C-alpha cells in the first residue's frame, strides 16, 4: 500500500488543550482518525516529536522508505528556527507540503518567517486542521 507521512513538531501533541482559540479544540489524534476514515485507500503514517533531531531523522527515513510517497509537515516553532529541518527537506526527492494551523503572517513577528518554505513544495497556512486535508489531497494528486 502506498503511504503518506504526517509529521508534527513541538507542542502539536497538545492540540485541543493549548490555546484552543488559535489551534482549535480537537486533538490531532481525533482529527487523524477522521483523515484515516476519509482516505482509507492510502496508508497515513503519523509521527510527532518535540525534538528537532527526531524530526530530521524521520524525514531522512521517509526519503528511503519506498512505500512513502510524500510528507505533510507541520514543524511547529521549528519552522521559524531550523536550518537542519530545511536541509533535510532539500535532501529529499519526495514532495513535502508544509502546514501551519494558524495564519503565521497575522501573528507575532517572530512567527512570520518560515525557514522551511524555500525547501518545500508548498505551504498551507491559517486554515486550521483542514490544512492537513488539503496537503494530503495535493500529495495524492502527485501519486497518480
Angle, helices 28-38/130-143, rounded to nearest 10 degrees: 40
Please give the Cα distance from 63 to 79 (Å, whole number). 19
| pLDDT recorded at residue 16 | 85
Total of domains in the chain = 1
Residue 21, all three cell numbers: 482559540
Active-site residues: which are they?
Answer: 23, 100
Please list the pLDDT of the chain residue by residue as tens digits (144 residues): 789 999 999 999 998 888 788 777 889 999 999 999 999 889 999 999 999 999 999 999 999 999 999 999 999 999 999 999 999 999 999 999 999 998 888 887 888 889 999 999 999 999 999 999 999 999 999 886
Residue 35, all three cell numbers: 483523515
Strand pairing class (43-48; 3-8): parallel
The boundaries of the domain holding residue 72 are 3-143
How many H helices and E strands in the chain?
A: 5, 5
CATH number at residue 46: 3.40.50.9100
Amino acid at each position: 500500500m502506498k503511504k503518506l507521512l504526517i509529521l508534527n513538531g513541538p507542542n502539536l501533541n497538545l492540540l485541543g488543550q493549548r490555546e484552543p482559540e488559535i489551534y482549535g479544540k480537537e486533538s490531532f489524534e481525533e482529527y487523524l482518525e477522521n483523515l484515516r476514515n476519509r482516505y482509507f485507500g492510502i496508508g497515513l503514517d503519523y509521527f510527532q516529536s518535540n525534538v528537532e533531531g527526531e524530526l530530521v531523522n524521520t524525514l531522512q527515513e521517509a526519503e528511503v522508505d519506498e512505500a512513502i510517497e510524500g510528507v505533510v509537515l507541520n514543524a511547529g516553532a521549528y519552522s521559524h528556527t531550523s536550518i537542519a529541518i530545511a536541509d533535510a527537506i532539500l535532501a529529499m526527492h519526495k514532495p513535502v507540503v508544509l502546514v501551519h494551523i494558524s495564519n503565521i503572517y497575522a501573528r507575532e513577528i517572530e512567527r512570520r518567517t518560515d525557514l522551511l518554505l524555500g525547501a518545500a513544495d508548498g505551504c498551507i497556512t491559517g486554515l486550521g486542521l483542514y490544512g492537513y486535508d488539503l496537503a494530503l489531497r495535493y500529495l495524492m494528486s502527485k501519486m497518480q
